[in-house]
């Protein structure tokens, strides 16, 4: 009887250890997946921000060029 009891305790203990190991491994995978997803989102946000910055700089450059042309035209009109 005691041998059966000892066998059941050992079996439960092994099952519990295996279950805990699986649960912890699952948490690690979930954490790694979450971190990878977060990094991917941040990378996409940075790329989007860079594109927005580039477009904004192009618009600023165009506006400066237009202002320069208008200033030249105004100066040319005043000379005539």
Token code pair at residue 33: 């997946």
Q: Between the CA of residue 46 and those of 32, 34, 40, what are the distances in Å? A: 21, 18, 10
Between 38 and 24, name the one with better pLDDT: 38
* Maximal CA-CA distance, the chain: 118
pLDDT of residue 61: 97
Tell me the CB-side half-sphere exposure of residue 72, using CA atoms within 13 A.
Answer: 6
32-58 pLDDT, tens digit each: 778 888 889 999 999 999 999 999 999
**CB neighbour class for 21 (10 Å; exposed up to 12, middle 13-18, buried from 19):** exposed
In this prediction the pTM is 0.51
């Amino acid at each position: 009887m005691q041998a059966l009891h000892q066998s059941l305790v050992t079996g439960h203990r092994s099952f519990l250890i295996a279950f805990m190991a699986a649960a912890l491994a699952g948490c690690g995978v979930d954490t790694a997946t979450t971190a990878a997803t977060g990094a991917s989102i941040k990378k996409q946000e940075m790329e989007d921000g860079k594109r927005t910055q580039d477009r904004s700089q192009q618009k600023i450059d165009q506006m400066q060029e237009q202002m320069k042309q208008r200033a030249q035209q105004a100066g040319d009109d005043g000379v005539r």
